[in-house]
Amino acid sequence: MFNKSIGLALLLMGYLLPSQAKDPEYPVSAIPANLKEKAHVVKRMEELTVRLVNPGEVRVTRHYVLTILDAKGDRYASIYEDYSKLKDVRSIKGRLLSAEGVELSKIRQNDITDVSGVGDEALMSDTRYKVYRFSWKVYPYTIEVETEVKYNHAFYLPDWTPQGNENYAVEQAKLTVSVPPDYKLRYKSFHYNGEPVVTRGKENLTYTWEVKGMVAMPEEDYIPESYDRTTTVMLAPSNFEMQDFKGNMNSWEELGHFIYTLNQGRDVLPDNVKQTVHDLTDGKSQKEKVAILYRYLQQHTHYILIVLGIGGWQTFDANSVATKGYGDCKALSNYMVALLKEAGVPANSVLVRAGDTNLELVEDFPSTQFNHMIACVPGNGDTTWLECTNNTLPAGYLSSFTANRPVLVIADQGSKLVRTPAYTMDQNVKVRRITATVSETGDMLVKINTHSTALQQDYAHGMNHALSHDKIMEWLRKDRLMPSYDVNKYEAKEIAGLVPAMDEEMEINAHNYATVSGKRMFLEPNLLSKAGSKQETTEPRVSTVNVYSPYKNVDTVVINIPAGYTSESVPQPVILKSNFGEYTSNIQVKDNQVIYIRSYCHKAGVFPASEWVNFAAFNNMVYKADRAKIVLVKQ
């Protein structure tokens, strides 16, 4: 009887266990082979749902599954959700799966860390982050994540780019946006075939976009914005509410008017500052007033990031900045405009998307594409632009951070997109004059004089204002100017102006720069201006070729060589001309001197992908010419 009972129990378990065990989910073996090619991560699925409840509330849920194929994909195995007075994180769920699709663990809520969003430059911020990292190193593995957030406004809506980066493939992804039936949703699609599927219900209007089978994009240099490379859907509201403020975004003028209204009345200066403005500027020309007050701003304020709720878009008032001596980009720009207004100079705050490569907006899609604010004094063809967070730039000069891009000039009426100045090749110049003496052991004493202008001087300008002389010397010793060297001396002189310049003087001891073998010495006369890397052309180019800034470099190098050496091999002059630039180099050896002259005119522009082979060929010829060696022989 006992044995029969055991047998029956085992028989029942045999039937029950298979039905109770969960089938594997998202096994790696189910990924199509073409999606794993050149990918570090594969998005198995994504459902991003945006529900605009009303102009003052938006709910966003995201459910996605990623398979991490190797260590380079680990950066995608983390969750970062920011929250503030304008945004709540309602829930975060997730789990870890093995390559076979077996659940290994789930996110425990007490393992989600809560960290401050205050950085080194932030004084006050209510932005915080919920953070979780899947710490797993057995590849491949899969993560499944579900998040829900609530926006306490509809001022900005999330964009959708299902393919997160290069080497990132997508099996399937969907975006669903629902709005009240009478609400106008604004959207713009890039690299998407057709229009979204629109369905009308009793209580909402729903838009759906879906993609499948997106192979990994290759790693490429000189790339455009992500929306120019892969499927992207940008979303923006028509009318919206943010706390007690209402507005709409159907045009740039309407967006500008909202920002103006949001900050209206915050430009009132204290009486003592008003008097100072008049003491400094009465009787001066407008140009003089702008320069004087900009310098006053730079001497009496400094930049600190402040983000508190709606304060991410609404400025601290001018009185606060005058009293405390600090502010963020909005507050300092507003304060600058207030100072100019008191002096009788019309001025405007200006929204800009700042960054060394963020040169474009989607101009036909009014939306919150900005991350910074500056000021301007409008003129007839000679508008003066003022970067109010920088205490050292000359009035009227914009660095690579905000130059050459569309910006939104803020006004009560007539806000509009205009473009900040673009600095030309003839303005972005670096001229080096180098004299050097090489010893018979290959060591070299090098004296360098560099004159740089406009964008070419930005790096030296920033370094000389940010670091002490000792720190500059320490930095230069680590800057890989040559394979092995000591820095003996460094001095710099700043030349202010609408097109500023820097003069630098440096002395270096280079160790074993020249290679000595028997009675021969091998020497590269291009000491400091070698092109950085070769361009690969083995893979077909997918993206356009985006070259952001034009410039011109001219080097004149005179190297004194030891007595008794003569030239055995000297490279021929090089002359290269193309749509991408012009390059010349010439080497002569005479009277115990090597004389090297190099000129490189680097053009900017957006070139089609089909031009990549020619672009790379030109750059690779420059790379090769820059490393030309002469051979000296001792008689």
Tens digit of pLDDT for each residue in 362-405? Answer: 999 999 999 999 999 998 778 999 999 999 999 999 999 999 99
Per-residue pLDDT for 148 more than 60?
A: yes
In the chain, ranges of CATH 3.10.620.30 domains: 251-419
Domain 251-419 adopts which CATH fold? C8orf32 fold (3.10.620)
- Distances from the Cα of 481 to the Cαs of 150, 533, 574, in angstroms? 51, 15, 24
The pair of three-digit structure tokens given for residue 291, joined into one six-digit string? 């320069």
Domain 28-242 adopts which CATH fold? Immunoglobulin-like (2.60.40)
pLDDT band at 304 (very low <50, low <70, confident <90, very high): confident
The CATH class of the 429-634 domain is: mainly beta
When pLDDT is averaged across residues 45-63 and rounded to a whole number, the result is 97
In the chain, ranges of CATH 2.60.120.1130 domains: 429-634
pLDDT band at 23 (very low <50, low <70, confident <90, very high): confident
- Distances from the Cα of 266 to the Cαs of 48, 321, 486, in angstroms? 39, 11, 53
When pLDDT is averaged across residues 40-65 and rounded to a whole number, the result is 98
pLDDT band at 485 (very low <50, low <70, confident <90, very high): very high
When pLDDT is averaged across residues 434-441 and rounded to a whole number, the result is 97
The pair of three-digit structure tokens given for residue 197, joined into one six-digit string? 């599927």
Read off the amino acid at residue 348: N
Whole-number Å distance between alpha carbons of 490 and 479: 13
pLDDT (0 to 100) of residue 124: 53
Per-residue pLDDT for 406 more than 80?
A: yes
Measured torsion, CA atoms of residues 597, 601, 602, 606, in degrees rounded to the nearest 10? -160
**pLDDT digits 0-9 by tens, 452-461:** 999 999 999 9
β-pair partners for 114: 130
Question: At 261, phi and psi to the nearest 5?
Answer: -65, -40
Per-residue pLDDT for 424 more than 50?
A: yes
Helices 469-477 and 458-466: angle between axes, nearest 10 degrees:
130
pLDDT (0 to 100) of residue 8: 37
pLDDT (0 to 100) of residue 120: 45
β-pair partners for 94: 145
- Distances from the Cα of 68 to the Cαs of 80, 104, 137, 138, 152, in angstroms? 17, 15, 10, 10, 34
pLDDT (0 to 100) of residue 12: 39
Whole-number Å distance between alpha carbons of 556 and 542: 38
Whole-number Å distance between alpha carbons of 68 and 141: 5
In the chain, ranges of CATH 2.60.40.3140 domains: 28-242
For residue 209, what is the enclosing H or E element?
A: strand 205-214
When pLDDT is averaged across residues 540-547 and rounded to a whole number, the result is 94
- Quickly count: other Cβ atoms within 10 Å of residue 27's Cβ: 17
Question: At 18, phi and psi to the nearest 5?
Answer: -60, -35
